[in-house]
Chains A and B, each alone.
Chain A
Amino acid sequence: MKLLGGLIAARGVAIAVALLWSTSAWAADQDRLDQIDFPVRTVTVVVPFARGGPTDTVARLIAGEMAKTLGQPIEVENVLGAGGTLAATRVAHATPDGHTLIVGHMGTHGSAAALYPKLGYRPDKDFEPVALLTEMPVLLLARKDFPPKDMTEFEAFVKAHTDNINVAHAGFGSVSYASCLLLDRLLGVDPTAVPFNGTGPALQALVEGQVDYMCDQIVNAVPALRQGTIKAYVIASSERDPAVPQVPTAIEAGLPRFRVAAWTGLFAPRGTPEPIVAKLNAAVSQALDQSDLRLRLTDLGGIIPRADQRLPAGLARLVHNEIARWDDVARGSVP
């Protein structure tokens, strides 16, 4: 166990060094935040995904930076179940003192409100939004021999052959499920949806040609795309992505309303005092400006929000809009 102890001690030294370095930095506003007596002990960040997945990685990277700024260790706790709604339910009822936070996402704080009738929390009312962390663009992917050549042909083809088309998704409530539901509504089609248990198996079925198309986050699809075993029609964001520069945006492809990002944001339970939220927000923002971290996040396919997009109010607006949009999608109308 000596090795473990050593590693932990090393981590402690690293935190201490970073603290010394960072205290020399900024000015007036920082003084106000410094006077807030927070955090006084370990902060727990609940991540509603399995250890090691892309969201978990993002959370751990950011939490690591935030711990340096805040001067207290941050513990990442992975709580799984029902598309992350279990984790959100737990945090919604936690003590609102800023020491328990959750990495919410498009599912828990957006589509879940429409998809899970017995949700144990209200995504917009039971949380204090802290900051937007990252956005992961969603791609429309298809098996490599799917006939249409571009988005226009795709639309025509899918409309003409709806009955014979199979769409894969990564399970009810997943990003890939919600995104393709949105696409179906926009195109006005209702193909057969084939559920898979997670992104991996769904992608594999696509590679094997058992299903025709699916939607998924960029990070999962890049290996197969580069290898040429699947193809992408469109990226559901406003800008092309450096990881797959050849894929046109939804606007370029003529489907401007197909915009989905698997965003993640940091939330505190409702009633967390404003100064604490502000201090957390500043810590997130500082972490997101750190160049090493930016590099890692970009490598994972994430888009880092600009400084003006990171404010709590922005996240609150995003949650509000997402709930309304996915409610429309789930009820069958075009958002």
Chain B
Amino acid sequence: MDLFSNLALGFQVAASPTNLLLCLIGALVGTLIGVLPGIGTIATVAMLLPITFGLPPVGALIMLAGIYYGAQYGGSTTSILVNIPGEATSVVTTLDGFQMAKQGRAGPALAIAAIGSFAAGCFATVLIALVGQPLTSVALAFGPAEYFSLMVLGLVFAVVLARGSVLKALAMIVLGLLLSTVGSDIETGAARMTFDLPELADGLGFATVAMGVFGFAEIIRNLDFGASADRELVQQKITGLMPTRKDLSDAAPAIARGTVLGSILGILPGGGAVIASFAAYTLEKKIARDPKRFGRGAIEGVAAPESANNAAAQTSFIPLLTLGIPPNAVMALMVGAMTIHNIVPGPQVMKNQPELVWGMIASMWIGNLMLLVINLPLVGVWVRLLRVPYRLMFPAIVIFCCIGIYSVNNAPVDVVLAGAFGLIGYWLVKHAFEPAPLLLGMVLGPLMEDNLRRALLIARGDAMVFLTRPLSAALLAVAVGLLILAVLPMLRRKRDEVFVESEG
């Protein structure tokens, strides 16, 4: 069969000793840089891109794939250990991952993230090989109207995953959306709420806001309790490094569901992977027998989004390879690397250089395997990092965050802005507002607004376009349904409380 001969060709290329080594080095270096708190996935890949320049094209791309997976896993590690997400897709991982770390279960959290990613990687690799080409038509069926509806659905996920008040989560989403409108207007170039600051002309960067409301705010909040108090508790409590049998059996179905969801959503260029991790988390929380465990260290809350974002990372290669269109910033960097190596991505590559495409697909799987090989033993090392006294760890995190943010654009103002968002994030936490919905609003905001405007432009102002296009209507229906599901229990609870009070 075609598939197997293709995959065989791929593995033949990827499993050559040199390429295996390159993949290993890439994954290792990617993990090591990505694990520095404050240096996100995109920054890591951008920093490491030049070391692949001197290699032959196949080797370079394989190494880059390794770097990408390494960086992504490194980002998940910081999400779990110090509550600093490396990119938008690992924001959800902080919710339960960091709670697990606080309970002394950082080891199992890290291990399950690696195992979930590997399982997802295996499935997604086969999926790409099997149905990569036909799946492209799914991406092509998505026009501006569909994207807008998908983004609405994504924001509903953010409401559902909120731990506290739904109202406050909604407010945070709207604030995130509002922040995302800062910058040049895509249609007219008008500077929106930039206060003539040139650095704001392209809007607030994800890294800036994320490092602020998660990284800096977390540090400041920890200092409130005195640097040692809370932390030493964490260090004493470290139980096992590896997940127990119960952990594994709890996580397995979540991994499976996360993988499927991630694989499907990853195909959609622009926002697919972000929504995948949020969607997977929401799904777990919705079907769990006891949703209250979520946000308090539920292992499914780490397993599902980590599998989903890895599956999505994998399948996001599909639009790149079949259409030549990079679906996100990291893929755009990959395209850049390909151009430097004289490869124009697109279906042409599939036909003319099958060894390259299939080699890369095979190397994705190998990259995932490498991650498992590298990271399971390293779990102990990362967890031991938690034993570093916090009075030394927090200034180091501050420095890494500063360097990470500065390296994105070489703009000092970005660092100042991140600091300001740190103080804002501190204020928000003190008033029981959650930062995760804010970040999701910020990431999805531009996609939502742009697609809304595009859809209306093309429909000449007819808002019915969102309902008359079947796919868009279906997505909106799911969104409304989920929102009702999210709000109903809250109303019911309120009623119950009222009951209790009047009785007592």
Is the CB–CB distance between B458 and A194 below 8 Å?
yes
Tell whether, in the assembled complex, residue B186 and residue A223 are in contact, meaning their CB atoms are under 8 Å apart: no
A28 contacts chain B at the CB level, 8 A cutoff: no
- With A82-B202, A172-B184 already in contact, the answer to whether A52 and B324 are too (CB < 8 A) is no
User: In the bound complex, how far is the Cα of B223 from the Cα of A47, in angstroms?
Assistant: 41
Chain A CB within 8 A of B221 CB: no
Nearest A residue to B326, CB-CB: A200
Given the interface pairs A3-B25, A52-B335, A192-B457, the reply to whether A172 lies near B185 with Cβ below 8 Å is yes
Task: Pick the residue among B186, B189, B339 that contacts A197 (CB under 8 A).
Answer: B186
Q: Is B450 an interface residue, CB under 8 A from the partner?
A: yes
> How many residues of chain B have a CB within 8 Å of chain A?
50
Other 9 A-B pairs with CB < 8 A, given A201-B325, A223-B345: A4-B51, A81-B202, A86-B198, A86-B199, A116-B189, A195-B186, A195-B453, A223-B346, A227-B346
Q: Across the interface, name the chain B residue whose C-beta is closest to A61.
A: B340
CB-CB under 8 A from A173, the residues of chain B are: 184, 189
By a CB distance below 8 angstroms, the chain A residues around B133 are none
Given A4-B51, A54-B339, A203 contacting B325 (CB threshold 8 A): yes
Q: Are B348 and A172 in contact (CB under 8 A)?
A: no
* Interface of A: prevailing SS: helix
A-B interface contact total, Cβ < 8 Å: 130
What distance in Å separates the Cβ of B460 from its nearest Cβ neighbour in chain A?
Answer: 8
Question: Would you call B446 an interface residue if the criterion is a C-beta within 8 Å of the partner chain's C-beta atoms?
Answer: yes
Complex contact A79–B185 (CB within 8 A): no
A207 near B323 with CB under 8 A, answer yes
Q: Which residues of B contact A300 (CB under 8 A)?
A: 339
- Return 29 A-B CB contacts under 8 Å, by A number: A4-B51, A51-B333, A51-B336, A52-B49, A52-B337, A57-B336, A80-B202, A86-B198, A89-B198, A118-B196, A172-B186, A172-B187, A172-B188, A192-B458, A195-B453, A196-B186, A197-B446, A197-B450, A200-B269, A200-B325, A204-B323, A208-B140, A208-B143, A210-B458, A223-B344, A223-B347, A223-B348, A224-B323, A227-B347
B257-276: contact bitstring with A at CB < 8 Å (1 yes, 0 no)?
Answer: 00000000000011000000
A208 to B410, CA, bound (A): 37
A311 at interface, CB cutoff 8 A: no
In the complex, whether B420 has a CB less than 8 A from a CB of chain A is: no
Beyond A52-B332, A52-B333, whether A80 also contacts B458 by CB under 8 A is no
What is the CA–CA distance of A207 and B136 in the complex, to the nearest angstrom? 12
- Whether A3 contacts B51 by the Cβ 8 Å rule is yes
A79 touches B409 (CB 8 A): yes
A192 to B410 CA separation, bound complex (whole angstroms): 37
CB distance from A275 to the nearest CB of B (A): 29
User: Out of A57, A77, A115, A196, which one reaches B410, CB within 8 Å?
Assistant: A77
List which A34-83 residues lie within 8 A (CB) of chain B. 50-54, 56-57, 60, 77-83
Known contacts A52-B340, A77-B410, A172-B186; decide if A226 and B454 are in contact (CB<8 Å): no
